[in-house]
Amino acid sequence: MSHRIEVEKGVSLFVEDIGEGQPVIFIHGWPVNHRMFEYQINEIVNLGYRFIGIDLRGYGQSDKPWSGYDYNRKADDVKAVIDQLGLENAVLAGFSMGGPVALRYMARHQQHGITKLMLLAPAAPRFTKTDDFPYGIEAKEIDGMIESIQKDRPAFLEEFGGMFFHQEQSDAFKHWFGTLGLQASAHGTIHSAEALRDEDGRGDLEHVTVPVLLLHGTNDEICPIDFSEYLQSHLKDAQLVKFEESGHGLVFEETEKLNAEILQFLRT
């Protein structure tokens, strides 16, 4: 089953809704969509959980307005989906950019409806370096990425996809993965990159009191594992599982281990 959920006047999100039982809400990373989780859907649904996959505004099959790509608005969009589907006792999972969006949701909406949080290779608490946050990349590197997107978005996505993985992927897989990024709007991709460059989610962490599972590849070249180590030390109840054979794309590179860790967390 799928839904179109209006999150503000004139803007609707596409939401995949499969299975029954406790809801597990997945928020994808930049610049793809919920279909990146296809290797988690079967496992979760087969074991009695309800998969909720959200295409954020600007991505996948959701509407692509010009504005609304800051973390506050994206968190409000998630709230609208949760409310309109009547989701309770849910687990919220955020991958990469979806990580800081999930954390902002927890802080901004008082963890409404959420009993557990999973962060997969999160781009959190912030993506770029500052004087008091030494992890991540320089803000000017995001500016270079935006310039590349404006010049040749397909070429940029192909290059970015190459950074995504530690293990070699088939040509067919790389083509499929690239199509996920091309389904996004150019302006949504750029405005989300600006949010990744500028947003700071460190203030969100003190508001998270539910159990948190952190899953992160040790060879991640996009979101260094320093991010999850920082989160583990600043969240009240967080466990970190490292994936030694993965880069940023741990959901594809160590799928069996990742799914097992997710299911163990769901059952506890």
**Which listed residue (17, 63, 204, 220) is catalytic?**
220
List the structure tokens of 15.
């939401």
- CA-to-CA distance for 196 and 68, rounded, in angstroms? 13
Catalytic site residue 34? no
Structural domains in the chain (count) = 1
Owning domain of residue 117: 2-267
Catalytic site residue 248? yes
Q: For the segment 190-242, what is each residue's pLDDT rounded down to a tens digit?
A: 999 999 999 999 999 999 999 999 999 999 999 999 999 999 999 999 999 99
CATH label of the domain that carries residue 223:
3.40.50.1820
Share of the chain above pLDDT 70, in %: 100
Catalytic site residue 96? yes
pTM exceeds 0.95, yes or no = yes
SS (H, E, C) 166-188: CCCCCHHHHHHHHHHHHCCCHHH
- CA-to-CA distance for 119 and 208, rounded, in angstroms? 12
Helix (H, G, I), strand (E, B), or coil: what is residue 128? strand
**Which listed residue (17, 63, 96, 191) is catalytic?**
96
Buried b / exposed e over 111-142, threshold 16 CB at 10 Å, is: bebbebbbbbbbbbbbbbeeeeeebbbeeeeb
Average pLDDT, stretch 162-191?
A: 95
- Residue 85 reports pLDDT greater than 90: yes
Residue 252's nearest CA partner among 14, 29, 45, 22 is 29
- CA-to-CA distance for 6 and 183, rounded, in angstroms? 20
Q: For residues 78 and 32, is the Cβ–Cβ distance under 8 A?
A: no
